[in-house]
Amino acid sequence: MADEIARTLRKRMNEAEMRLWFRLRPLRREGLHFRRQSPIGRYIVDFECRRAKLVVELDGSQHREPEHAARDRERDAWLSARGYTVLRFDSGAALQHTDQIVHDIVTAARWALEALNHPED
């Protein structure tokens, strides 16, 4: 069921998601394999780098509504409890500052991979 929903969402990506996807996808050559509209448990996240346990969410204006923000916090807590780091960016910022956001995502993914490969005792 979640896979079918994710497949549908991939076909309906908004402009910000598409722009970010076209920048994240080529990073596979550098060992950062991102998936788009990826199911994790009962959630479907915008982007996931499973190896780095990193989730990237692009938030539209509806995420500022109290009810939606509360659901986002619950979702982030659930993902965090399973070892994921969640990065959230405003969709408008993703369109205007794509280079900086991609830089932030790559930095976080590399940091996470380093931490996973060399855990502190």
Q: What is the CATH number of the domain that holds 38?
A: 3.40.960.10
Structural domain harbouring 100? 2-117
Across-strand partners of 74? none
Cβ atoms < 10 Å from Cβ of 17? 20
Question: For 26-40, what is each residue's pLDDT tens digit?
Answer: 999 999 999 999 999
- Per the structure, the count of domains in the chain is 1
Cβ atoms < 10 Å from Cβ of 53? 20
Question: For 38-70, what is each residue's pLDDT tens digit?
Answer: 999 999 999 999 999 999 999 886 757 778 789
Checking 25-30 for CB contacts under 8 A at 24+ apart, the result is: 27/106
Q: Which residues contact 34 (CB under 8 A, 6 or more apart)?
A: 21, 24, 25, 27, 28, 47, 48, 49, 56
Across-strand partners of 34? 49
Q: What is the pTM of this model?
A: 0.85
The pLDDT of residue 117 is 82
The pLDDT of residue 67 is 81
On the question of pLDDT at 6 being above 50, the answer is no
Whether the Cβ atoms of residue 51 and residue 33 lie closer than 8 Å to each other? yes
